[in-house]
Amino acid sequence: MPDRFSFALHATDGKARTGLISTPRGDIRTPAFMPVGTAATVKAMMPESVAATGADILLGNTYHLMLRPGAERIDRLGGLHRFMNWSGPILTDSGGFQVMSLSDLRKLTEAGVTFRSHVDGSRHELSPERSMEIQKLLGSDIVMCFDECPALPAEEKVVANSMRLSMRWAERSKAAFGDRPGHALFGIQQGGVTQDLRAESAEKLKEIGFDGYAIGGLAVGEGQEAMFGVLDYAPDMLPEDRPRYLMGVGKPDDIVGAVKRGVDMMDCVLPTRSGRTGQAWTRRGPVALKNARHADDPRPLDEDCTCPACRNYSRAYLHHVFRSGEMISAMLLTWHNLHYYQDLMANIRAAITAGQFDAFEAEFHAMRAEGDIERL
């Protein structure tokens, strides 16, 4: 195992890239999709099952973990990897985004944010310095800068002020992170859907200097067309020799479109959350298992999928356990969804390596356009 964090680009096809991030806790093949383990668990999955789907890295949420069970407690118990029994790399977000979306009575100042916990109403503070401290206590391998972003649509002046505050916080995050060999700190580009602001943000981040660069402030209500509009130029503003991480994305077609535009890493709760609401993601698009059409269907969800849900169970069974509110419904569908996402990433990486990304993309969309298999 290497003792430092590094990134090597192996092949490109158009703007799409494939490569390898090396960390002391293991390698991350890119483009990578990171399952979300919000509260020190990928919901409904054992960590070894998550690994079996092909995931190289998990995402943990600073906001949730600092409130419950607490970062100092996780540190005393040996760190997040040991606590949740995941030995591979972990990326943690900074807490900034979730403070804005989940907590009550927020107060935002130049220093940071004070807020009340959505769990028990207790008072907390987050600042660039405290976020770096918490992510260090957790033992995160990839640490995110503390930032702030408004929901879109927002007035350009609001977006500009917010972005400039985030850039001042990025500088403080870098100083507080210090020199930690083997651990990486990523800066986060902001600027909403305004190209000049995205450029200003990228220049500032490059001046500070980070191990990787995230594109933040997207997938917050602007829609796919506006998001792709930003991704047509935003990744190009970031250094070519560092990983580029698009935060909080997305649906399978968002992922393919982001990779096409030069993104290397993504995360989203969609495959796990959908798994708990009876929605499966397949090569033929989304399938709602709750629908009565599956009640007598002995066929697998996807006959070409090698996950346990598709190998060993029928659509009729998946329909039954979902309708009955059985826990195995969430377990099987989450497994399938994560397996499908990792399969998608593996196919994307193979297509880029082979210089066949355009053909892959055409086939991906053609298959989805066909829709689910005919009902029996």
Residues in touch with Zn ion (CB under 5 A): 305, 307, 309-310, 336
3-state secondary structure of 62: helix
| CB of 280 or CB of 352, closer to Zn ion | 280
Write down the least CB distance from residue 310 to Zn ion, Å.
3
Residues 126 and 96 sit within 8 Å (Cβ to Cβ): yes
The β-bridge relationship of strands 244-246 and 58-60 is: unpaired
Q: CB of 115: closest distance to Zn ion in angstroms?
A: 40
Instruction: Give the 3-state secondary structure of residue 324.
Output: coil
Measured from the CB atom, is 21 or 307 closer to Zn ion? 307
Give the nearer residue to Zn ion in terms of CB position, either 25 or 336.
336
Beta carbon of residue 364, minimum distance to Zn ion (angstroms, whole number): 17
Q: Considering beta carbons, is residue 186 or 322 the nearer one to Zn ion?
A: 322
Tally Cβ neighbours within 10 Å of residue 240: 11
Residue where the block lists tokens 């309708």: 323
Rounded to the nearest whole angstrom, what is the least distance from the CB of residue 338 to Zn ion in the complex? 10
C-beta of 172: minimal distance to Zn ion in Å?
45
For the residues of 217-265, what is the DSSP string, one character each?
A: S-SSSS-HHHHHHHHTTTGGGS-TTS-EEETT--SHHHHHHHHHTT--E
| Least Cβ distance, residue 309 to Zn ion (angstroms) | 5
Which of 85, 312 has the CB closer to Zn ion? Answer: 312
Secondary structure of 80-138 as H, E, C letters: HHHHHCCCCCEEECCCHHHHHHHCEEEEECCCCEEEECCCCCCEEEECHHHHHHHHHHH
Q: Are strands 212-215 and 279-282 parallel, antiparallel or unpaired?
A: unpaired
Three-class SS state of 201: helix
Mind telling me the catalytic residues?
Answer: 93, 267
Q: Which is nearer to Zn ion, 120 or 303 (CB)?
A: 303
- Cβ neighbors of 141 (< 8 A, separation 6 or more) are 5, 23, 24, 25, 57, 89, 90, 91, 182, 183, 184
The residue whose two tokens read 């505050």 is 165
Cβ within 8 Å of residue 51, ≥6 positions away: 86, 88
Q: Pseudo-torsion of CA 179, 184, 189, 190, nearest 10°? A: -90
